[in-house]
Amino acid sequence: MRSLDVDQWREEIEKMGEKSFRAMQIFEWVHKKQVESFEEMTSVSKTLREKLKEKYEWFPLKAIFVMKSQIDGTKKYVWELADGHFIESVWMKYHYGNSVCISSQVGCRMGCTFCASTLDGLGRSLTASEMLGQVYTMAKMNGERVSNVVVMGMGEPLDNYNELVHFIRLLSHEKGNHLSQRNITVSTCGIVPKIYELAEEGFQITLAISLHAPNDEKRKKLMPIGEKYSIKELLLACNYYFKKTGRRLTFEYSLIEGFNDRQEDARQLSELLKNLCCHVNLIPINPIKEGGFVESRKKDILNFQNSLEKNSINVTIRREIGRDIQASCGQLRRHVNQSPMHKERERNDAPC
């Protein structure tokens, strides 16, 4: 329902024999005022509201778990979708506003060895409506506007390309929520052909690349996608994206003790990135029990940062947020899926 754009609404409305200006009204109710039912659309006639109610379902996201960090107030949400799947989102408060991290798929099929989202494979991709639903519902629940959206939750957004692009168009639509595309970040493990495609969309979003290794040999050990596309191919696509959009790239680099956090790794990484307009985000790895990785020591993280800076690479260490509530991708959903509470719910919900 939230997936319909203005033109699609116009078609629908005309089919119902109503005046086409109603399409824009409805679009504004859904995306600007972000109502959650047709009853709330008070400028729309009662008869049309009834017709709409008969034809469309809202599929609201059901918050089944909300956890608030005692350290920094970050909130993590686990939602149940209409078909019973679970996804996660995160709400973060910064000095500049509220940033939300949303999921693009139920699970993931990329197989990165340190990531909890991929452990059970891919359930399904989310619709644009379900991605918007995460943003709008959190705004409503917190009673505040969202200023930044990062597609860095569960799933690989470029593995759900069409719905992602539709989501970005709707979220930034001037008659709707009108979020500046500069405040939207999409993070990818690096599906090279899709980066070229995204470069042609005319967006002003930030592209973040999960690099995590300074050479192909190490990257392949962490990320199966590294077997498909070399770092060289990936960086060529990144360079193209920058040339087309003028947007500085972000590279995410999770530091793993003794694996990719040494001075030689920093040197190789600087060499790779020296000619790109980019920013490196260092993330201390958040160990998952299935991964067997250990987080880098503080001193090594700082040395790594210094080394990149000396090579004139723009770098920051990502503020650790919500660690006490398992805020990394897919961690909490697994917890919910495996908890006795969920098992109990399943029993209660099962048809007899």
* Burial grade of 83 (CB within 10 A; 0-12, 13-18, 19 or more): exposed
Evaluate whether 104 touches 155 at the Cβ level (below 8 Å): yes
Closest approach of Cβ 20 to ligand SAH, in Å?
39
Evaluate whether 128 touches 167 at the Cβ level (below 8 Å): yes
* One of 252, 261, 265, 300 touching ligand SAH (CB under 6 A): 252
**CB nearer ligand SAH, residue 27 or residue 203:** 203
Active site residue 329: yes
Active site residue 344: no
Return the range that interacts with ligand SAH (CB under 6 A); candidates 64-72, 79-87, 186-194, 226-234. 186-194
Q: Does 115 bind ligand SAH (CB under 6 A)?
A: yes
* One of 13, 152, 184, 332 touching ligand SAH (CB under 6 A): 152
Pick the closest to residue 135 from 5, 67, 34 (CA basis).
34
Residues in the chain: 352
Largest Cα–Cα separation, the chain: 69
Q: Provide the β-strand partners of residue 212.
A: none
* One of 156, 163, 261, 300 touching ligand SAH (CB under 6 A): 156
Pick the closest to residue 301 from 260, 244, 248, 270 (CA basis).
260
Q: Does 329 bind ligand SAH (CB under 6 A)?
A: yes
**Which of 18, 28, 88, 130 is an active site residue?**
88
Helical (H) or strand (E) element with 77: strand 75-80
**CB nearer ligand SAH, residue 34 or residue 188:** 188
Q: What is the DSSP letter of 247?
A: P
Evaluate whether 1 touches 59 at the Cβ level (below 8 Å): yes
Contacts of ligand SAH in 194-223 (CB under 6 A): 210
Contacts of ligand SAH in 275-314 (CB under 6 A): 283, 285-286, 288
Residues marked active site are found at: 88, 329
Contacts with ligand SAH by CB under 6 A lie at: 110, 112, 114-115, 152, 156, 187-189, 210, 252, 254, 283, 285-286, 288, 328-329
